[in-house]
Amino acid sequence: MVSRVIPVDVFDLVIFGGTGDLARRKILPGLYRRFLAGQMVPESRMIGAARADLTDEAFRQQVREAIAEFVPKARQDDAAIEGFLGRIHYVSIDATGTGGWAALKALMRENVVRAFYFSVAPSLFGDIAQRLSEHQIADAWSRIVVEKPFGRDLASAKALNEVLAKHFNETQIYRIDHYLGKETVQNLMAVRFANILFEPLWKAEYIDHVQITVAETVGVDGRGAYYDKSGAMRDMVQNHLMQLLCLIAMEPPYHFDPDAVRDEKLKVIRALKPVKTEDIVRGQYGAGRGEKSYVVHSENPASKTESYIALKVQISNWRWQGVPFYLRTGKRLRARASEIAITFKQPPHAIFDDASGWHENVLVIRLQPNEGMNLMVMIKEPGPGGMRLMQVPLDMSFADAIDDAEDVPDAYERLIMDVIRGNQTLFMRGDEVEAAWAWTDPIIEGWEARGDRPQTYDPGSSGPEDALMLMHRDGRRWREIRE
């Protein structure tokens, strides 16, 4: 199966924060890959905008280095790189002042898609939005892309929404959650809504519980100062895990259309029950294996910020009544592994005796790495000697199913092309972000008011002991975290 590349319209994409880390690691290398794949019409242009005083040539050199560092060698084609760099420009701009805006305006072309990527601190969103409209650089057809964190609580998210809404309509605002750009995450929708097999069983009557795991091996070194003000709940759960939960739990939208999909996700978020104190476990990694502890990385010896969190979440609606969703995510865990596991209930009546070795059916959707799907089913153990059962996986690796897994676009590539196409399906709507904070705020306020300290866990482990208890209490256990 070869992936089809459908070119997008000619565009001018301005990247505010063009010299920053995200632009260097993800945005610019991603754009190069789309150029290489032939998805970008050659007349399209990328304009870096940042405070530094750089010439076009000096900025191109930075982009050249970013491609060398972040694009796999096999995809580094000299002619394509030079062609791509020819599409790159740079404007030195003062986001909070007057410098550079006239030059940016002069550079923009008429009758092409204009997109503005705000890869800057959220405190600058308002300034940039205002100057774009004041200088009439953005028009009614322009799009803006904003990165997370979109606020740190409901009040700040509302304030950001309001500041953007002064200058842009909701249909022009693309709030990125890069998890939605991952192929396997989109596959959740394909698996659920393009097959008849699963949907009839997708409800409390047949599902025992759901586990959502996003485990990382990295620590917070290098970004401890930011992370310490955030923690796993704000950094991962309020956005990425919440989106995964929504895709698993939502009702079928009437069409694969931006508002139809986002309306259904919003209903899930609004149906989330408040989480009980005993259903929250927070952890912080200690030192070990020659690595420094969280408090050293965050340079805050008294830090009470969690680098791990596990939660038992309930959705208060007809479909999911009584079905727990166990969520966990953390840094410095034993393996990098993100997966969703749906455990089904026992058959209503057991015809085989207890010694047969029955296990539940589990559908495991591996998001990364080793993307794929596994359906654990029971079969008869081969051989004579009565009916003994064994659990075997119906195994599908996504990498095996596509010819060239290297050609699968990275989340950012996919999402930026969607911005140019004007497709908001995989972006968060303002009300969705606010609803997610409305659910998150009381959880964080609860532990802050109690002065809770996270439990220390060993680096390279599966997280704190209490997280195991969270499941054991319910007679269940976490799946092993492994690559």
What are the CA-CA distances from residue 72 to residues 75, 260, 277 (Å)?
6, 37, 45
Closest approach of Cβ 43 to ligand BG6, in Å?
31
Report the C-alpha gap between 454 and 96 in whole angstroms: 39
Report the C-alpha gap between 455 and 328 in whole angstroms: 14
Comparing C-alpha atoms, which of 478, 482, 456, 22 is closest to residue 217?
Answer: 482
x/- track of binding to ligand BG6 for residues 99-128 (CB under 6 A)? ------------------------------
Query: 216 vs 371, which CB is nearer to ligand BG6?
Result: 216
Residue 343: beta bridge partners?
209, 362
Residue 474, number of CB atoms within 10 A of its CB: 14
Report the C-alpha gap between 345 and 428 in whole angstroms: 33
Closest approach of Cβ 119 to ligand BG6, in Å?
13
Query: 138 vs 247, which CB is nearer to ligand BG6?
Result: 247
Q: Is 183 in the site for ligand BG6 (CB under 6 A)?
A: no
Query: 183 vs 235, which CB is nearer to ligand BG6?
Result: 235
Residues annotated as part of the active site = 240
Report the C-alpha gap between 248 and 202 in whole angstroms: 9
Q: Which of residues 319-358 bind ligand BG6 (CB under 6 A)?
A: none
Instruction: Give the binding-site size for ligand BG6 (rule: CB under 6 A).
Output: 2
Q: Which of residues 206-265 bind ligand BG6 (CB under 6 A)?
A: 216, 235
Closest approach of Cβ 235 to ligand BG6, in Å?
5
Residue 260: beta bridge partners?
none
Report the C-alpha gap between 339 and 183 in whole angstroms: 13
Residue in the shown chain whose Cβ atom is closest to ligand BG6: 235
Query: 112 vs 185, which CB is nearer to ligand BG6?
Result: 185
Query: 101 vs 457, which CB is nearer to ligand BG6?
Result: 457
Residue 105: half-sphere exposure toward Cβ, Cα within 13 Å = 14
Q: Are strands 280-285 and 308-313 parallel, antiparallel or unpaired?
A: antiparallel
For 312, list phi and psi in degrees, rounded to 5: -105, 120
Residues lying near ligand BG6 in the complex (CB under 6 A) are found at 216, 235
